[in-house]
Chains A and B, each alone.
Chain A
């Protein structure tokens, strides 16, 4: 058994296969009880959450925005799914004592030092670019990477290749200081 499983984690093959079963069960259950097949995804929820926040400041702007109108700002199945990810992760991390406060992750620290401010700026700007891209492509590694691939969607194969292709190029440049 290799070191990386010693902290109570499961084999990624096992955990991944169980996510596959969850995706199948969820597609079946949503069709049966909600009348529409729903697939795992996450990035649309960020649009809805941004809409909810923006509504508090400027409801008019949200009401007249074509993209918010198209996406519909509401607390739906996927919104609760994303909240659930937080809870499930918290429960698992406390359960096997892998919960850890971390302000600057390894690899980042090796390249940019222990400054939380630098990491915060990087995470914020990276988050902006990633989300603009995800919404343009209509999906993220959950929606395209898992759900799209399971359905053999052409868009998923292309999107996943772009995600990793560009991710690898940028990572090689940005974190290149550590071989």
Chain B
């Protein structure tokens, strides 16, 4: 193992530890959010985003790190995102949490992981088809929201903080 692999492993161990401590790895937490009964995973994700977006913006703005936007390919993101949502509701784990759930003993996650591996292999087989259909519709490229609307990223971050803190208040008020 080289430096790259060791860094990935250490980062992953910390990530997995925090995912488990936040109690977001469980099926009932993920499906609970979709049923709007338990917003634990939303609190967790949004808290991570609130903190992360400030640091990433500071570092990228200073030229210390570079952005790695994923392309806003209309068909791919809409259809793929929809398919992911459909599958996610049934399997009850996302790719990262499936592995973490197995770590905390929820062994039915092995079936989820097996399905996801099969899904990846199937996607690789169907890739030429998707490339000439869904992916070929319209690609807006690797764009950020501030670029797209032509304003400072700090305004977007400010609005995002305000809206999210409001959401947190709603979650707590309704005991979600």
Contact between chains at A127 and B112 (CB < 8 Å): yes
Chain B residue with the shortest CB-CB distance to A136: B80
Alpha-carbon gap, A90 to B68, bound state (A): 30
Interface SS of chain B: helix, strand, loop or mixed? helix
Q: A90-B103, A91-B13 are in contact. Are A133 and B56 (CB under 8 A)?
A: no
Residues 1 to 58 of chain A near chain B (Cβ within 8 Å): 2, 4, 9-24, 26-31, 33-34, 36-40, 42-43, 45-47, 49-51, 53-54
The residues of B that contact A14 with a CB separation of less than 8 Å are 22, 47
Q: Which 5 interchain pairs have the tightest Cβ spacing?
A: A84-B12, A127-B115, A88-B16, A162-B81, A20-B51
Contact sample, A vs B, 30 pairs, CB 8 Å cutoff: A27-B59, A30-B7, A83-B9, A85-B16, A85-B100, A87-B13, A89-B99, A93-B103, A93-B104, A98-B104, A99-B105, A100-B105, A124-B112, A130-B83, A131-B120, A136-B83, A138-B80, A140-B96, A142-B95, A151-B53, A151-B60, A152-B146, A153-B67, A155-B70, A159-B70, A163-B84, A163-B88, A164-B34, A165-B82, A170-B90
- 17 more CB-based (< 8 A) A-B contacts, given A126-B92, A157-B145: A10-B22, A10-B23, A13-B168, A24-B56, A24-B59, A28-B59, A49-B117, A82-B96, A84-B14, A89-B103, A123-B93, A130-B84, A136-B76, A159-B84, A160-B81, A163-B88, A172-B34
